[in-house]
Amino acid sequence: MRRELGELEADVGDAARIATLKAEIERQERRAKVIPFIDPVDLRYRRIEVTPEPIARAAMFCLMDVSASMDEHMKDLAKRFFSLLYLFLTRRYDKVEIVFIRHTHEAKEVDEETFFHSRESGGTVISSALIEMARIAKQRYPADQWNIYAAQASDGDNLSSDNARSVALLRETILPMAQYYAYLQVGRGDYDREDGVFARHETTLWRAYQELVRPNLPMAMRKVNDRRDIYPVFRELFERRDEAAEAR
């Protein structure tokens, strides 16, 4: 868009088209400023083509494990995925509200700054975040008035005895009210550099979630170890979702 504007201005081209391009660039820049956690490089992904849903507003739940095993690289991967999901939803809905839920053995809703930067310690209990999401959704985002999306990021290091409870919460409470639920298992980046090792690594949480996933459920799960993987994984997840929706 900027290249086209530059060419038109250099050639003293169509004044109306120049004005239109300038207005669109200013609109995108204003919008970007109100979502500070999105890196400027991610703005090119605004080109995803989507079809509006009947209910023109969405609640986006960001769930992140912030226990001691989650390092900054893992949090950065989660941040990039959440950013793309936000951009995707703003193209689909007129209004998008974000709920940030972070957890160790207990979960709480926080603001954006705390979500991405505050340090925590403790073990991991995934179900605590799902319970908090269900509570907030029930109070503020009834499913008949909001389209609910959620993305969960974790290294998969969950309390083993909690896996069954987490799966039950997803199956019985979260998925019935959600348009889509994405689970992103993040790696350390330097986690065994041998090709394919991270892709083959399965945590107990991963195996528990795998047993839950079915073609008719609005849920998908992927592993990401490097920032270069984020957009391909995101595109695969949501292209498949739209294809499935069109097929129904």
Does residue 191 sit within a domain? yes
Does a structural domain hold residue 19? no
pLDDT at position 124: 86
Q: What is the mean pLDDT of residues 23-28?
A: 69
pTM (predicted TM-score): 0.72
Q: Is residue 31 part of a domain?
A: no
Q: Tokens for 28?
A: 């995108």
Q: Residue 133 belongs to a domain with what CATH number? A: 3.40.50.410
DSSP 40: G
- Give the number of domains in the chain: 1
One-letter amino acid of 19: A
Instruction: Compute the distance between CA of residue 12 and CA of residue 136 in angstroms, rounded to an integer.
Output: 54
At 78-89, the pLDDT tens digits run 999 998 899 889
Tell me the per-residue pLDDT of 125-152, one tens digit each, with 9 for 90 and over.
999 999 999 999 999 999 999 999 999 9
Whole-angstrom CA distances from 127 to 107, 137, 163, 188, 237 are 9, 15, 8, 23, 23
Distances (CA, A) of 96 to 9, 140, 213: 35, 13, 26
Is pLDDT at 239 greater than 80 in this prediction?
no
The domain in which residue 227 lies consists of 53-247
Distance between CA 65 and CA 156 in Å, rounded? 9
Q: pLDDT tens for residues 197-237?
A: 545 567 889 999 999 998 888 999 999 988 888 888 888 87
Q: What percent of the chain has pLDDT over 70?
A: 70
